[in-house]
């Protein structure tokens, strides 16, 4: 068998040879979170740093902000704040973040988005987000009986009512927000119900992420450790959505959306699938031929290729030790290029979709089932 040629997609070649443009996801609190969601793939990342739950210092924040803005050769720079739970850093941390962004913008326009579980939101947070034009992503899995199945706090208490209170604060203050909804075992069979709930909650921009994870049990530890799918002793997590369950969940939403809500409500998966079908840029990394132009920076400046790949083997370097421009100009895209073979009938209709990354480095047949032409797209 001939060895596969080492190639990268044309758009990646253009990116690497043209003006440098990339996105960073900031993890200022690492894996630190006030919740203990069963399926959280990031809680166990504390083990990489000796079991600690550290926080980004203002010195690191300023250094990374300056380097990130200066390394981008484009007029707009996007800061994405993630966790863990980024709000545990406190409001003053983000006031300093905005201050540093203004200090080093040098004529560039800076945008901010932040992903939160919503339980720590206050009117003061909401005002800050509105005044500084933050886009807020809110983690909300659906009605209480679904949301509270796996999204509990550290004491095992439900979180749905607190999230809804936080959502109301955002709406009252006029903060722009979207929702991020995981599709897990408890979600199966409830696609249309979850979609209707999110619409009623005021979400016009929705992301649905399939939870497909692998775990390993360690002695009497209550919470199993989420590991890479091919790790020794790895077994499918009991909260993972089934392939058929995810496909049907999305198909049920699509049946409602395509008849009533096109142009009014936006579902990331549908937008990305349609863009790929039309030969346009996908907009979501899992649908791309590679995962180029994106990286994750941890609390201490460590840089990883993706927040689902925060493992020692995928550490690229440290932005405090190596210029971030040099790290991002490395040939990273080829590390993740892994197309999924689709049924022949589907290949004639739509381009091959890339394999979902961990959550699960294995094909997700349910997504293929959703994409099969069992109904017209329009």
Task: Report the catalytic residues.
Answer: 307
Per the DSSP assignment, residues forming a β-bridge with 79 are: 24, 112
Residues 25 and 113: beta-carbon distance below 8 Å:
no
What is the spatial distance between Cα 14 and Cα 20, in angstroms, rounded to a whole number?
10
Sheet holding 205-210, edge to edge: 266-267, 205-210, 177-183, 134-139, 109-116, 76-81, 23-26, 294-297, 302-304, 315-318
User: Within 13 Å, how many C-alpha atoms sit on residue 301's CB side?
Assistant: 21
Beta strands in 230-346 (DSSP E): 235-236, 266-267, 294-297, 302-304, 315-318
What is the spatial distance between Cα 160 and Cα 157, in angstroms, rounded to a whole number?
10
Strands 266-267 and 205-210, sheet pairing:
parallel
């Amino acid at each position: 068998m001939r060895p596969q040629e080492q190639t990268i997609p044309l758009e990646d070649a253009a990116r690497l040879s043209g003006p440098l443009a990339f996105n960073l996801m900031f993890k200022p609190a690492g894996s630190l979170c006030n919740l203990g969601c069963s399926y959280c793939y990031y809680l166990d990342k504390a083990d990489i740093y000796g079991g600690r739950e550290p926080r980004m210092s203002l010195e690191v924040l300023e250094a990374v902000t300056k380097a990130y803005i200066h390394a981008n050769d484009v007029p707009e720079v996007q800061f994405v704040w993630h966790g863990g739970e980024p709000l545990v850093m406190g409001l003053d941390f983000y006031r300093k973040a905005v201050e540093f962004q203004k200090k080093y913008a040098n004529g560039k326009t800076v945008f901010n988005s932040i992903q939160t579980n919503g339980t720590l939101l206050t009117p003061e947070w909401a005002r800050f987000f509105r005044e500084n034009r933050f886009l807020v992503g809110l983690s909300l899995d659906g009605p209480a009986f679904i949301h509270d199945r796996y999204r509990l706090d550290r004491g095992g208490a439900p979180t749905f009512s607190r999230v809804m209170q936080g959502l109301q604060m955002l709406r009252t203050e006029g903060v722009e927000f979207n929702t991020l909804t995981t599709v897990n075992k408890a979600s199966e069979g409830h696609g249309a119900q979850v979609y209707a709930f999110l619409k009623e909650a005021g979400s016009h921009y929705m992301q649905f992420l399939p939870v497909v994870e692998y775990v390993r049990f360690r002695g009497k530890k209550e919470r199993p450790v989420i590991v890479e799918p091919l790790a020794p002793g790895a077994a499918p997590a009991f909260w993972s959505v089934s392939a058929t369950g995810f496909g049907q969940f999305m198909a049920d939403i699509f049946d409602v959306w395509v008849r009533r809500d096109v142009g009014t409500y936006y579902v990331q998966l549908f937008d990305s699938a349609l863009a790929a079908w039309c030969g346009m840029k996908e907009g979501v990394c899992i649908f791309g031929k590679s995962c180029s132009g994106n990286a994750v920076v941890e609390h201490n400046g460590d840089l990883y290729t993706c927040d689902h790949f925060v493992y020692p083997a995928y550490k690229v370097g440290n932005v405090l030790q190596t210029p971030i421009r040099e790290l991002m100009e490395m040939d990273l895209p080829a590390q993740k290029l892994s197309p999924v073979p689709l049924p022949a009938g589907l290949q004639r209709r739509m381009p091959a979709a890339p394999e979902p990354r961990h959550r699960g480095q294995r094909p997700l047949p349910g997504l293929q089932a959703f994409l099969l032409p069992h109904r017209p797209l329009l």
